[in-house]
Amino acid sequence: DRLSNRVALVTGAANGIGEATAYRLAAEGAAVVVTDIDDERGRAVVAALAANGARAAYLHHDVASETDWQHAVEATVERFGALDVLVNNAGVHGERESIEDVTLAAWERSIAILQTGVFLGMRCATPALRASPHASVVNISSIFGASGGFGGSPAYHAAKGAVRVLTKNAAVHWARDGIRVNSIHPGFIDTGLLGSASTEQGGASAGMQQVMLDVTPMARLGRPEEVAAGVAYLAGDDAAFVTGSELYIDGGFSAR
> For binding to ligand NAD (CB under 6 A), which residues are involved?
11-12, 14-18, 36-38, 61-64, 89-92, 113, 140, 142, 186, 188-189, 191-194
> Which residue among the candidates 23, 58, 156, 248 is catalytic per the annotation?
156
State which residue, 2 or 60, has the beta carbon closest to ligand NAD: 60
What is the C-alpha separation between 185 and 163, in angstroms, rounded? 10
Chain mean position to CA 101: 28
Q: Cα separation of 102 and 236, whole Å?
A: 40
Q: Is 254 exposed, middle or buried (0-12, 13-18, 19+ CB in 10 A)?
A: middle
Cα–Cα dist 33/54, whole Å: 11
CA–CA separation, 50 and 44 (whole Å): 10
Nearest CB to ligand NAD, comparing residues 82 and 208? 208
Q: Is 233 noted as a catalytic residue in this protein?
A: no
Cα 124 to Cα 32: distance, rounded to the nearest angstrom:
18
Distance of alpha carbon 176 from alpha carbon 57, whole angstroms: 31
Instruction: Please report how close the Cβ of residue 233 comes to ligand NAD at its closest, in angstroms.
Output: 17
Q: Shortest approach of ligand NAD to residue 210 CB, angstroms?
A: 15
Nearest of 131, 123, 122 to residue 181 by alpha carbon? 122
Closer CB to ligand NAD, 38 or 178, in the complex: 38
The residues with which 85 forms a beta bridge, in sequence order, are 8, 136
Question: Which residues face 136 on adjacent strands?
Answer: 85, 180
Q: Minimum distance between the CB of residue 46 and ligand NAD, rounded to whole angstroms? A: 13
**CB of 80 or CB of 188, closer to ligand NAD:** 188
How many whole angstroms separate alpha carbon 122 and alpha carbon 208? 35
Contact by Cβ (8 Å): 166, 139: yes
- Distance separating alpha carbons of residues 37 and 245, to the nearest angstrom: 29
Measured from the CB atom, the residue of 165 and 175 that comes closer to ligand NAD is 165
54 vs 193 by CB, closer to ligand NAD = 193
The CB-of-230 to ligand NAD minimum distance in angstroms stands at: 12
Q: What residues are annotated to the active site?
A: 156
